[in-house]
Structure 1
Amino acid sequence: MESWLKESGAVGLDDLKFANFPATGRGLGSRRHFKEGERILTLPSSILWTVEHAYADSIIGPVLQSMQGALSVDDTLAIYILFVRSRESGYNGLRSHVEALPTSYSSSIFFTDDELEVCAGSSLYTITKQLEQQIQDDYQTLVERLFGQYLDIFSLGKFTIEDYKWALCTLWSRAMDFVQPDGKSIRLLAPFADMFNHSSDVKECHVYDTSSGDFSILAGKDYEAGDQVFINYGSIPNNRLLRLYGFVVPNNPNDSYDLVLMTQPEAPLFELKQKLWVSAGLDSVSTISLSLNDPLPKSVLQYLHIQRADESDLAIIALQQIDATDKTPSNSNEVKVLQALIESFCELLNNFGTQMEKLDEQLAEGFYPPGTNAWSAAHVSLGEQRVLRLARKRAEDLLAALESGNRVDSGFSAPLRCAHCAKVAVQLMLCGRCKAVRYCGRTCQVAHYKEHKELCQAIASKSGSVKK
């Protein structure tokens, strides 16, 4: 692969070498000293795997273009990778890259039922089960609409569902995404560069030149000859690391739990509540990340205050959102919210197959050999349970303070936003009738009136009782 890269114009290959490292396995090491910020490697656009390059292929390109809009970016790239791997001649450079890829992955979709059961109750467990079904459905669609229609291009023996899963995991674990000046994003695979391992101790250092289309790696810190060179994938929790990349970081400080809040359209006052959720930057179905640093984000309580509010509470909430005052819903509303939240956290924690204390004990005793799939699943479960316990404790503290008469900041305040364009600003004009929403100016107010009319009338009719 290296000779092909050099012939294609890659720069910096002689300063790097493949090596096996004790903690991370196969990766790239430095042959010389690098100073932080120094350019280590540059790959020309002509050798990057992108959707545009797939479309430009003389054989498979027209077929993929005919499916444009029906295929996702990942499916397009996955099919292109499998196509190149299936060819017996040609594509020498691209084939050398494919041959250098791992033959298998340890992402959660490849876990056995017993291995996945170790993290039963976690969001990873649920998402993995959903992914498995989605992959089966997507593959069947591809067989019917693509593979089966072009048997001269797609040999079904080389495009099995296992091949498809392998190609998807190649993308999940190795592709990189960049935003272009026009706001559109581009996803690419960079040969050789995809061998850099992750470390949170280095600065983010992979760069895409939107003018030339070239891709570069910069030194995320100082390196000496013989050091392993890393890139930073970002602040990623273990549940996502294992699902996408196939590894975990013990005691990961970025661990999180994605809490899904949902209200059915048939619920009382749904339309009024939907407007208030949107005003607060939320929606009737909102997924909010709970983390070790912020186990109970303000947005969770904002959502639930609106969800469980009656008409009077909704009027107060609308006024509070705009005025950013210390007005709060009724005590009964806040008590209901916190009690329901605590009960939900207890239920979520009880759903975990193995409780945190037992998992800690099993890991300490080596019940799950380090580095195995079950060991990784155990760390995911531990991280999510820690986050949920912290969230429950925060809700319990808020409830205790409320019941003792010492109201504390529950995070109910919201930033000032234009009700139409959602722009955050300090000075916005009030709606003259309900005085419960603000706008950037007359243009936004007029544009939003049809949508706001019902809420405006409801709040205005309640405003007398609110001010008493």
Structure 2
Amino acid sequence: MDSWLRQSGAVGLNSLELADFPLTGRGVKTLKPFKDGETILTIPSSILWTVEHAHADPLLGPALRAAQPPLSVEDTLAIYLLFVRARESGYEGLRSHVAALPESYSSSIYFEEDELEVCAGTSLYTITKQLEQSIEEDHRALVVRLLALNPDLFPLDKFTLEDYKWALCTVWSRAMDFVLPGGKSIRLLAPFADMLNHSPDVKPCHVYDPSSGNLSVLAGKDYEAGDQVSIYYGSIPNSRLLRLYGFVLPDNPNDSYDLVLSTHPSAPLFKQKQKLWTSAGLDSTTTIPLTLTDPLPRNVLRYLRIQRLDESNLNTITPQRSGATNQKISKSNEIEILQFLAESFSYLLDSFGTQLEKLKQQLTEGVYPPGGNAWAAAHVSLGEQRVLRLARKRAEELLSAVESGSDNDVAGSLSQCANCGTAPAQLMLCGRCKSVAYCGRTCQVAHFKEHKGICRVAASKSGSGGTK
């Protein structure tokens, strides 16, 4: 592959070589020092794998363009890879790149059932099960709408379900995505550059030049000769790392749990609430990531405050005033949603196949061989359970504050002025309803027109006789 890359105009190969590393496996080693920000490698546009290149291919292109409905970017790149791999002549350069790709992957879709069961209860477990089914359905559809219609191009014995899974994993684990000027995006595979492993210790360092179409890799930190060169995939939780890339990072600080909030269209007052969700940047079905640093995001509370509105409260809030859901609507509404959250988080935690403490013990005792599939699945489960425990603790703390009447604690926990959105150390509560807080008298007065309708309802429900 190196000779083809050099002939194609790749720059920087003389300073790099492929090597095996103890923890990450196959990767790229630098043969000389590089300073942070220095260009290490440039792959020319002419040899990148893109949808545009696939459509421009004289053999493959007409079949792809004729497919109805059009293939997705992911499927186009997967078919492109398999097409080149299946050719017995021609495409020598691209075939050398395919030959250098791994023969197998460690994505969760390849786990044995007992290995996947280690992370039962996680989002990874659910998504992997769904993926396995959707991949089979997508492959059957591809056979009907593309492969069987062009048997000379796509011999079915080289485009099997297993071949398709391999190609998808290649795209998932090696493709790079970039946003172009004007908001469009491009997904591509770059020979040799796709051998670079992820490290959370480097800055984003792979760039695409829209004018030339070239892909460059910069040094994300200072390197000495012999160091492994890494790129940064992003702030990715272990569940996604394992599903797409086939590895995990123990104690990953980016671990998260995707909380799905949903309301059926037949629910009471659905149309009015849908307008409020939309104005708040949400939807009737919304997925909100819970993280270690923000285990109970404000949008979870905003969604549920709207979902649990009764008719009297709903009439005081219009889509133009949906910012009111940043704060407590009423004591009863807040108690209801916080009780629901605490109970839901407990239910989710109970659904995990192996509880946190036992998983920790099993990992310490070496029950799961380090680096193996079950070991990786255990780390996914650990991360999601940690997040959910923090989320439950946060919901219970907020619930205790509301039930005890410690509204100052609630205001502090919201940490945001109802008018200007700042988060000072001290907030003052509305003296009448005690359901919103302000950074000062000026913001309280400025917000009065929007808040007054809700204030009356909240004050009457809480029995407060104070005045604003």
The normalised TM-score by structure 1 is 0.88
Distance in 2 between the 1:85 and 1:67 partners? 21
The equivalent residue for 1:101 is 101
Q: 1:53 to 1:310 in 2, by over 3 A?
A: same
1:148 is the counterpart of 2:148: yes
Distance in 1 between the 2:283 and 2:360 partners? 37
Distance in 2 between the 1:323 and 1:144 partners? 50
SS in 2 for 1:204: coil
Q: 1:253 to 1:325 in 2, by over 3 A?
A: closer
Distance in 2 between the 1:179 and 1:415 partners? 34
| Corresponding letter in the other structure for 1:388 | L
CA RMSD of aligned residues (A): 2.3
In 1, are the aligned partners of 2:330 and 2:458 still within 8 Å (CA)? Answer: no
- Residue 332 of structure 1 deviates from its aligned partner by 1.1
The equivalent residue for 2:200 is 200
Distance in 2 between the 1:258 and 1:355 partners? 19
| Corresponding letter in the other structure for 1:369 | P
In 1, are the aligned partners of 2:276 and 2:319 still within 8 Å (CA)? Answer: no
- Residue 186 of structure 1 deviates from its aligned partner by 0.3
- Residue 22 of structure 1 deviates from its aligned partner by 1.1
Distance in 2 between the 1:376 and 1:331 partners? 43
| Corresponding letter in the other structure for 2:80 | Y
Q: 1:465 to 1:17 in 2, by over 3 A?
A: closer
Distance in 1 between the 2:42 and 2:51 partners? 20
- Residue 149 of structure 1 deviates from its aligned partner by 1.1
| Corresponding letter in the other structure for 1:58 | P
For residues 207-226 of structure 1, the C-alpha deviation after alignment (integer angstroms, 9 at most, x for no partner) is 00001100000000000111
1:256-405 matched pairs, under 5 angstroms: 256-318=256-318, 321=321, 328-405=328-405
The equivalent residue for 2:80 is 80
The equivalent residue for 2:440 is none
Distance in 2 between the 1:321 and 1:403 partners? 27
* Uncovered stretches (5+) of structure 1, i.e. residues with no partner: 418-434, 438-458
Q: 1:93 to 1:402 in 2, by over 3 A?
A: same
- Residue 289 of structure 1 deviates from its aligned partner by 0.2
Distance in 2 between the 1:115 and 1:415 partners? 51
In 2, are the aligned partners of 1:115 and 1:374 still within 8 Å (CA)? Answer: yes
The equivalent residue for 1:32 is 32
- Residue 231 of structure 1 deviates from its aligned partner by 0.4
Distance in 1 between the 2:318 and 2:154 partners? 58
Distance in 1 between the 2:122 and 2:202 partners? 29
Distance in 1 between the 2:102 and 2:332 partners? 57
Q: Which moved more, 1:59-68 or 1:344-353?
A: 59-68
Q: Which moved more, 1:159-168 or 1:17-26?
A: 17-26
Distance in 1 between the 2:176 and 2:379 partners? 26
For residues 360-413 of structure 1, the C-alpha deviation after alignment (integer angstroms, 9 at most, x for no partner) is 000000000001000000000000000000000000000111111102135497
* Uncovered stretches (5+) of structure 2, i.e. residues with no partner: 422-448, 461-468
Distance in 1 between the 2:342 and 2:67 partners? 48
Q: 1:212 to 1:271 in 2, by over 3 A?
A: same
The equivalent residue for 2:184 is 184
Q: 1:7 to 1:387 in 2, by over 3 A?
A: same
The equivalent residue for 2:157 is 157
In 2, are the aligned partners of 1:298 and 1:412 still within 8 Å (CA)? Answer: no
For residues 167-193 of structure 1, the C-alpha deviation after alignment (integer angstroms, 9 at most, x for no partner) is 000000000001111211000000000
In 2, are the aligned partners of 1:290 and 1:387 still within 8 Å (CA)? Answer: yes
1:14 is the counterpart of 2:14: yes
For residues 271-311 of structure 1, the C-alpha deviation after alignment (integer angstroms, 9 at most, x for no partner) is 11111111111110000000000000000000001101102
- Residue 270 of structure 1 deviates from its aligned partner by 0.5
Distance in 1 between the 2:10 and 2:44 partners? 6
| Corresponding letter in the other structure for 1:205 | C
- Residue 330 of structure 1 deviates from its aligned partner by 1.8
- Residue 312 of structure 1 deviates from its aligned partner by 2.1
In 1, are the aligned partners of 2:306 and 2:325 still within 8 Å (CA)? Answer: no
In 1, are the aligned partners of 2:177 and 2:187 still within 8 Å (CA)? Answer: yes
The equivalent residue for 2:170 is 170
In 2, are the aligned partners of 1:297 and 1:411 still within 8 Å (CA)? Answer: no
- Residue 464 of structure 1 deviates from its aligned partner by 8.3
SS in 1 for 2:289: strand
The equivalent residue for 1:4 is 4
SS in 2 for 1:286: strand
